[in-house]
A and B are shown apart, each in its own frame.
Chain A
Amino acid sequence: MPGLLAGRLVQIGVVLALLSVLTWLAMGLMPGDPVELALSADPRLTAEDAARLRALHGLDQPLWGRYLAWAAAVLRGEFGFSRLYAVPVTEVLWPALRSTLVLLGWSLLLSAGLGIGLGVLGAVRRGAGVLADGVALLAQSLPGFWLGILLIILFAVELGWLPAGGMAEGWGLAEGARFLALPVATLAFVNIAAYARHSLSAMREEMAQPYIRTARMKGLPERQVIWGHAFPNAAIPVVTVAALDAGSLVSGALVTETIFARPGMGKLIYDSIMGNDYNLALLALLLAALVTMLATLAADIVQRIIDPRLAA
């Protein structure tokens, strides 16, 4: 286990380093630099001012030199400023990260709970299999942003029960839940598909095993046969899905936050790229990638804990 952990942490570091280089290059290819933006905002700036500003901010340096300077600063723990919000980057990153983690946490809980429940039900009840298959197909095919819009139309426009977007102002739990309900429902439903499909097929496989017949023959109640015997074995591939799905969950959060105008990592990445705020965009992207990879690592560790064969 320590060996695995060390290896994976090294791998995460390498991926992050490569990702930062590639993103830096890609951002160098995006239209418009901050000085051009300043020029368009203030007509009194002259060409000399532009050159002076470029030299002041190091924008006249080649792309590589700028990258190395940036990377060195980040490694020293200096994350710099956000041009878009005119505050230190960390001041926007942490609240956004917290908001996204809340969204991700509830969605993961809901989608895994419902998906696994549906899959198990489909495997043990005749007839429920069609339901599980159908819901999985629908969830897999539904574009998340469309579901979000439909939910807004139904619950915010027609019924007026829930807010169409934004964040709760205060700290009230009920108020926060009202703002969370639609985004969590959107993100969770799209991610039900993988859990339902995999727990359905894994449970079907386990329920056909001889040890299930043995458990039934020694007179165990069906509930214990399902949850005590079959489910722990079926859970192993489902945890693999959770590991593989971390990326799509974070991707989904970006779209969901954009639709519901929720300030979070996804919206931050989108807004900062659109607003040419390279430093913020890059750091937010790296943070999102780090969260995804740590989630995958956590799922892998859980998998090794519940499946002793892998730990060897």
Chain B
Amino acid sequence: MIRLILGLLLLGMLGLGALAAPWAQGWMGVDPFAPDLMARYGEASAAHPLGTDELGRDLLLRLLHGARVSLSVGLAVAVGATGLGTAIGLLAAWRGGWVDAVLMRVADGLLALPALPLLVVLAAVDTGRFGLPRGEAASDILRIVLILVAFGWVGTARLARAAALTQLSLDYVAAARVSGAGEGRVLLRHVLPNIAGPIGVAAALAVAGAILAESTLSFLGLGIQPPAPSWGNMLSNAQEMVFSAPLQAVWPGLCILLAVAGCTLVADGLRRR
């Protein structure tokens, strides 16, 4: 219970920060996107609580704007991957036979591969051909979300399949069928609520995984492109300046750490409840 509360508290804090970014910007009266070359590498001060980066932009505001990107990517991937995974898992458990075999072999194959090199390959694809120009924040986010969903459904699908197989063999399912419920109703109204627990845990872990994966890709320069701030690409800037401004590398990483730890705590809390 302590874990759940602690995790929700952490995520709530970061979420509030993300929501408050535009107001904080208006209140502090600084534009985190406009370079100010006279204020480069600024120390922490009243005007810039965490100092400024190599272009004189306020670090705190960029972190808050980065939170919007990182958290929304995490949430969107978790929703997409959990939805897709649950659907595939249910389908495999319910249909059985060759459908089950094919879906699970695909899942096995994806699980057996090292994910990051494949993500790098996919992230380097020229999405401009599909109407998703690179370098625009919105289409970058969409591209990353799609890629991470394509890899993220596997764990949830296996979990949902195993849980659904157990439920489908129970008497209440037979009772529902005998009393005339259609297969769709059996799956959605009877089986799905009963496997929601483990799926909820998997979803919380999926948010954590997605935030880590997005920041890693952005760090490698393949995710969210600057000037839009994300915690990952702020770190990739900071690495080039470890000798001149080492503190800049601390804050974005700390944000990622707190967000991922928050999700993991929530998942742990849900599991033990």
Determine whether A153 belongs to the interface, using a CB cutoff of 8 Å to chain B: yes
Contact B120 A269 (CB under 8 A): yes
> Please, how many angstroms separate the alpha-carbon atoms of A27 and B246 in the complex?
37
Residues of B close to A140: CB separation below 8 A? 208, 260-261, 264
A255 within 8 A of B: yes
Q: Could you give 8 example pairs across A and B, Cβ below 8 Å?
A: A14-B109, A141-B208, A141-B260, A141-B261, A143-B219, A146-B235, A252-B116, A254-B116
A273, B115: Cβ atoms under 8 Å? no
Query: Distance (Å) between the CB of A75 and the closest chain B CB?
Result: 20
Residue from A27, A29, A266, A281 whose CB has the most chain B CB atoms within 10 Å = A29
Q: Would you call B243 an interface residue if the criterion is a C-beta within 8 Å of the partner chain's C-beta atoms?
A: yes
Among candidates B105, B114, B238, residue contacting A251 with C-beta atoms closer than 8 Å: B114
User: Taking beta carbons and an 8 Å cutoff, which residues of B are in contact with A?
Assistant: 105, 108-109, 111-118, 120-122, 124-126, 128-129, 208, 212, 215-216, 219-220, 235, 238-239, 242-243, 246, 249-250, 252-253, 256-258, 260-261, 264-265
Among candidates A12, A137, A143, A149, residue contacting B239 with C-beta atoms closer than 8 Å: A149
Of B111, B239, B258, which one neighbours A259 at CB under 8 angstroms? B239
- Greatest chain A CB density within 10 A among B105, B109, B114, B212 is at B114
**New A-B contacts (12) at CB < 8 Å, excluding given A149-B238, A250-B117, A289-B117:** A30-B124, A140-B208, A141-B208, A141-B261, A143-B216, A143-B219, A143-B235, A143-B253, A143-B256, A145-B235, A153-B242, A164-B242
Contact with B along A10-27 (1 / 0, CB 8 A): 011011001100010011
Q: Check A15 against B113 for contact (C-beta < 8 Å).
A: yes
Across the interface, do B246 and A157 meet the contact criterion of CB distance under 8 Å?
A: yes
Residue of A at shortest CB range from B219?
Answer: A145
Given contacts A140-B264, A258-B220, A259-B239, contact A30 B118 (CB under 8 A): no
Residue pair B257, A270 in contact (C-beta under 8 Å): no
Q: Are B260 and A143 in contact (CB under 8 A)?
A: yes
Cβ of B260: which chain A residues have Cβ within 8 Å of it?
140-143
- How many angstroms between the C-alpha atoms of A158 and B260 in the bound complex? 28
On whether the beta carbons of A289 and B114 are closer than 8 Å, the reply is: yes
A residues near B219, Cβ cutoff 8 Å: 143, 145, 255
The 8 A CB mask of A249-288 against B (1 = contact, 0 = none) is 0111011001100000010011001100000010001001
